[in-house]
Amino acid sequence: MNFHQTSTIQLSGNAFNNNLKLSKVTPQNIESVTKTMVDMIRRQKRIWRKEINDWQSARILRNSVDFPNNFYLQEVNDDAMMDPHLIAVTGNRTLRTTNKNFIFAIDGKKDDERTKYIEAKQWFEYALKYAHTTYYRGGICLFINGFKDGEITSIKHIPFGLYLPEQQMIINDFVGMGIDITKFDDILLHTQLSDEIGLLEKAFPYTCLKRHSWGSWDEFEELFGIPIRIAKVASQSETVKNEVAGWLEEMGSASYGVFPTGTEIEIKENTKGDAFNVFFQKIKALDAELSKLIVHQTMTTDNGSSKAQGSVHENTLNEIVKADEKDILGWLNDVLVPAMRKLGYKIPENSKIIVEQTKDPSEQIKIDGVLMSNGYVLKQTYIEEVYGVEIESMPNSNQSKEEKVNDSGKD
């Protein structure tokens, strides 16, 4: 049986946009095959845990002058994001910024027609979420990969490790040139709200040390958390000793056991009850450092000592969120909206995306009460919108005055 079939496939990496011929009768292609396989292996996600030396090596590659590489640092970032506390503080900051109503407005007034372009659109929520991740991972590239009937239907991000934000380039291998996204600014959107590398580069040492402390604490628990049971056997027979040892092992966590006459069971408990604080306090300190790095304070994620201090910390977080909001609006109006115009959306030049200002009913009712006491009349639509109620009829202003007069006459 002869095997002379030749297959042509399309691959990425060293074979990006090139046809690679795999044939048993063309040994001269062995170099191309080798390069492609090496490239594919290098791009496989490595799931073993990263250590400080991996972080240092990734930083060196990322800051290389000749061939900067973002792939390995993003793998380190993936490892950092396995930390629950880091997920909590980054999620807290992100949700406070993205969980707002973004609308189109002209001269500060809501443009209902254009707002429909982004309102309740999954692709827009995706864009907001990943735009905000640039604070943590550095600049990324968003790809508008779905467009139907004149509207964007889907958007996704280019894998973090395959994009160099400072060059605005998608790399197609590890040592070569890539795609300049500025030539495709209608579908490839450079997204960067902070620096090119992000905060996770600084966060990894804390998550790595924290993981070590958890591991050491686990070993401490195995050694000293469970009391040691010692069996004293009168017999010198190795068979009897081994049998009693087997019974001790089979006891597990049970509080009882059956042993032959003459066997003494001694339980030695650990007298150093506060030794766990070595690990516990270190983990708490590392969590506090992560909170300070991401949200610049600690009390919005941990227990505060007083209401006054908690208010100060909450105000600090609010200032960060306000700054994030300005950054994300700048990206929306300077990058996303121009791309939407190029794709055919009819958006006037004086129309831009803003955050809709919502009113707090508990605070607004005080203001409205002062206005009404001074003779101002509020519209029914305003009351229904602000307070979320349905009003069947509004009182007549003249009737209200007459009622006041009658009430005063009765007195």
Going from N- to C-terminal start, the domains of the chain cover 7-43, 49-227+269-358, 230-265, 361-410
Does residue 354 contact residue 329 with C-beta atoms inside 8 Å? yes
Q: Is the pLDDT of residue 122 over 80?
A: yes
Cα distances (Å, whole numbers) of residue 127 to 98, 138, 158, 218: 10, 15, 12, 40
**Mean pLDDT calculated for residue range 322-334:** 96
Cα distances (Å, whole numbers) of residue 17 to 10, 20, 52, 88, 226: 7, 9, 36, 40, 61
Residue 169 pairs in a beta bridge with 164, 180
**Mean pLDDT calculated for residue range 38-54:** 70
Cα distances (Å, whole numbers) of residue 149 to 102, 154, 184, 282, 344: 23, 13, 20, 56, 10
Among the residues of 111-222, which ranges form H helices?
Answer: 112-115, 122-132, 134-137, 200-220
Give Cα 356 distance to the centre of its chain. Answer: 24
Q: Is the pLDDT of residue 113 over 90?
A: yes
Taking alpha carbons only, the member of 288, 295, 287, 283 closest to residue 90 is: 295
Burial of 112 (0-12, 13-18, 19+ CB in 10 A): exposed
**Mean pLDDT calculated for residue range 7-13:** 39
Tell me how far apart the alpha carbons of residues 276 and 134 are, in angstroms, rounded to a whole number.
37
Tell me how far apart the alpha carbons of residues 99 and 91 are, in angstroms, rounded to a whole number.
11
pLDDT band, very low/low/confident/very high, at 3 (cuts 50, 70, 90): very low
Residues 6+ apart with CB under 8 A from 128: 98, 102, 328
For 337, the token pair is 């909206």
Burial of 139 (0-12, 13-18, 19+ CB in 10 A): buried
Q: Name the residue with higher pLDDT: 38 or 170.
A: 170
Does residue 353 contact residue 329 with C-beta atoms inside 8 Å? yes
Q: What is the pLDDT of residues 280-314, one digit of tens each?
A: 899 999 999 999 999 988 877 766 556 667 777 78
pLDDT band, very low/low/confident/very high, at 397 (cuts 50, 70, 90): low
**Mean pLDDT calculated for residue range 321-350:** 95
Residues 6+ apart with CB under 8 A from 165: 138, 139, 140, 141, 190, 192, 196
Cα distances (Å, whole numbers) of residue 81 to 50, 128, 237, 290, 374: 12, 19, 55, 12, 56
Mean pLDDT of the chain: 80
Burial of 294 (0-12, 13-18, 19+ CB in 10 A): buried
pTM above 0.95, yes or no: no
Does residue 163 contact residue 70 with C-beta atoms inside 8 Å? yes
**Mean pLDDT calculated for residue range 227-248:** 75
Alpha-carbon torsion angle 33, 37, 43, 48, nearest 10:
-170
- Decide: helix, strand or coil at residue 178: strand
Does residue 198 contact residue 178 with C-beta atoms inside 8 Å? no
Q: What share of the chain is helix, strand, coil (3-state, %, to 5)?
A: 50, 15, 35
Residue 147 pairs in a beta bridge with 152
What does the DSSP assignment read for 220-248?
A: HIIIIIS-EEEEE-S---HHHHHHHHHHH
- Decide: helix, strand or coil at residue 4: coil
Tell me how far apart the alpha carbons of residues 195 and 219 are, in angstroms, rounded to a whole number.
40
The full 3-state SS of 256-292, as one line of letters, equals: CCCCCCCCEEEEECCCCCCCCHHHHHHHHHHHHHHHH
Task: Give the per-residue pLDDT at 45.
Answer: 60
